[in-house]
Amino acid sequence: MRKPCRKHGPKAEMNVVPYIDVMLVLLVIFMVTAPMLTQGVKVELPKVAAEALASNSQQQILTLSVKADGSYYWNLGSELETEQHTDSAVSLEEMTAKVGAIIASSGDTQVYIRADQHADYATVVAGMAALQQGGVANLGLITEAPRP
């Protein structure tokens, strides 16, 4: 006795076409979303000792310090002084008004900013922008030399 012949017998092959379609869709999704996942750029800043800037003895020097809590204080004098302070302000608006009056009264003032390492970046930049709007043209940043 002979077995009847079937036209479509069982196949032992795997159909991979649907898997290829799924892989292509996933590839497109990852290619589209990957650039959106980048939040920032890693930057390695140089760790070198900076030389002191030459100062003009006729200029007044205003040293603005930003504390970690976001408050400001400053010292106005003939030399760079970071330990003492002439006046202080709790808010950006108060600092802008007081320092703006100092800058307006004596136009030849060099301004340096120093900030606590735990101070918010936005607070420091807001202080810099407020000083720029107040008429400060030259602004310096104070850092500490790296320890050996």
Determine, yes or no, domain membership for 121. Answer: yes
Report the number of distinct structural domains present in the chain. 1
More reliable by pLDDT, 109 or 24: 24
Pick from 34, 128, 144: nearest CA to 82: 144
What's the first-to-final CA gap in the chain, in angstroms? Answer: 96
For 83-135, how does the pLDDT look when each residue is reduced to its tens digit (9 = 90+)?
Answer: 666 677 777 888 888 888 877 887 777 888 888 878 888 888 888 888 888 77
User: Does 148 have pLDDT greater than 80?
Assistant: no
Owning domain of residue 117 = 60-141
Determine, yes or no, domain membership for 47. Answer: no
What CATH code is carried by the domain that includes residue 127? 3.30.420.270
Helix (H) or strand (E) holding 96: helix 92-105
Percent of the chain with pLDDT over 90: 6
Determine, yes or no, domain membership for 119. Answer: yes
45 pLDDT band (50/70/90 cuts)? very low
pTM of the model: 0.56
Determine, yes or no, domain membership for 8. Answer: no
